Amino acid sequence: MTVAEASVQTRSRAFPRLVRSIARSPTACVGFGLIFLHVLLALAAPLLSPYDPIANDAMATLSNPTGAHPLGTDALGRDILSRTLYGGQYALVVSLVATTLAVLLGSIIAGIAAFKGGIVDDVITRVLDSVLAVPAILALLVVITIFGSGPQIIILAVVIVFTGGVTRIVRAAVMDVLPNDYITAARARGEGMFSILVREVFPNVLDIILVEFAMRASWVMLLISSLSFLGFGANPPTPDWGLMVAENRNLLSIAPWATLAPIVALATLIVGLNLAADGLSKSLGVDRMKDVLG
């Protein structure tokens, strides 16, 4: 079997091996189970929500949990259950889209930097070091202050802030793969840089990328909710968990359900993402992760 054939065979077996590794990890199974539950609830929100999440009912303000309002209402008479379910849609869409773009962009930049080396690698590394020197929350606030709020701006801000960290981790993994024989064989066949990265390099660092995605997703979700809590994220009356906590925190003593529902939803989703990341890192090779991460 030639080096090229061995490389193709390795790639063809990568996904089944990944699924088996996840299935053998109880931590990863619990984490992905929580994530799947939240995704299912978010998709089914229009069917499960008893009311419009932004509809006000002046006759039902601060209602206790009842059959009509299973999780009660807030100070404006909005149904907490409906707002919590729809809040999952906002949190998942914004966070996962932002994380996906950051990981994709970071992986591409990492591949180019590691493959080119020399001055290109040095310039990219120095620029990333400069970006990473700025605290994430401060960088996000600066971008949002300049460009305004809204989902698109938040996604842009997250991509700018988190791409540098992803690039550093993936670059280290790519540098570990480049000396292998199948990369040398691909170069000898005359394949271009992007062809080698897509066909040979990225499939062999997929475990690192997946773990990085799961870790970043939990950080991004918590950061976006924090921005909404501080008034820099979702605009009222958008059903967003961080915004719901900010709106109802002063009513915690008389209407705790209005604050606890989004807190529990956010906490369980972040726990699920963290468990998934931890399970992935262990099932996909914790020794290799330690080597790459230093």
- pTM (predicted TM-score): 0.83
What is the pLDDT, as a whole number, of residue 80?
93
| Beta carbons of 149 and 233 less than 8 angstroms apart | yes
Whether 51 is in a domain gets the answer no
Closest CA to 51 of 34, 25, 32, 71: 71
Give mean pLDDT, residues 270-277.
Answer: 90
Residue reference for tokens 């960290």: 165
Residue 270 corresponds to which amino acid?
I
Of how many residues is the chain composed?
294
Q: Give me the sign of the Cα torsion angle 141, 147, 152, 157.
A: negative
Q: How many domains does the chain have?
A: 1
Would the pLDDT of 239 be above 80?
yes
Whether 23 is in a domain gets the answer no
Provide the CATH number for the domain around residue 214.
Answer: 1.10.3720.10
Range of the domain at 198: 38-45+99-293
Q: What is the 3-state secondary structure (H, E, C) of 132-174?
A: HCCCHHHHHHHHHHHHCCCHHHHHHHHHHHHHHHHHHHHHHHH
What is the pLDDT, as a whole number, of residue 289?
42
Whether 184 is in a domain gets the answer yes
What is the pLDDT, as a whole number, of residue 281?
78
How many whole angstroms from its chain centre is CA 166?
12
pLDDT digits (tens, 9 = 90+) for 168-179: 999 988 998 888
Q: Which residues contact 282 (CB under 8 A, 6 or more apart)?
A: 25, 27, 28
Whether 31 is in a domain gets the answer no
pLDDT digits (tens, 9 = 90+) for 12-27: 455 566 677 677 778 8
- Of the listed ranges 38-42, 79-83, 204-208, 243-247, the least confidently predicted one is 204-208
What is the pLDDT, as a whole number, of residue 285?
62
What is the pLDDT, as a whole number, of residue 278?
85
Whether 89 is in a domain gets the answer no
Confidence of residue 86 (pLDDT cuts 50, 70, 90): very high
Give mean pLDDT, residues 216-237.
Answer: 87
- Of the listed ranges 7-21, 136-150, 233-247, the least confidently predicted one is 7-21
Whole-angstrom distance, CA of residue 94 vs CA of residue 154:
8
Whether 53 is in a domain gets the answer no
Whole-angstrom distance, CA of residue 136 vs CA of residue 270:
18
Whole-angstrom distance, CA of residue 152 vs CA of residue 242:
17
- Of the listed ranges 99-113, 135-149, 280-294, the least confidently predicted one is 280-294
What is the pLDDT, as a whole number, of residue 3?
44
Confidence of residue 46 (pLDDT cuts 50, 70, 90): very high
Confidence of residue 271 (pLDDT cuts 50, 70, 90): very high
What is the pLDDT, as a whole number, of residue 85?
94
Would the pLDDT of 141 be above 60?
yes
What is the pLDDT, as a whole number, of residue 234?
83
Give mean pLDDT, residues 177-186.
Answer: 86
Average pLDDT score over the chain = 84
What is the pLDDT, as a whole number, of residue 243?
92
Would the pLDDT of 139 be above 50?
yes
Whole-angstrom distance, CA of residue 241 vs CA of residue 264:
10
Give mean pLDDT, residues 131-135.
Answer: 81
Whether 78 is in a domain gets the answer no
pLDDT digits (tens, 9 = 90+) for 98-112: 999 999 999 999 999
Whether 7 is in a domain gets the answer no
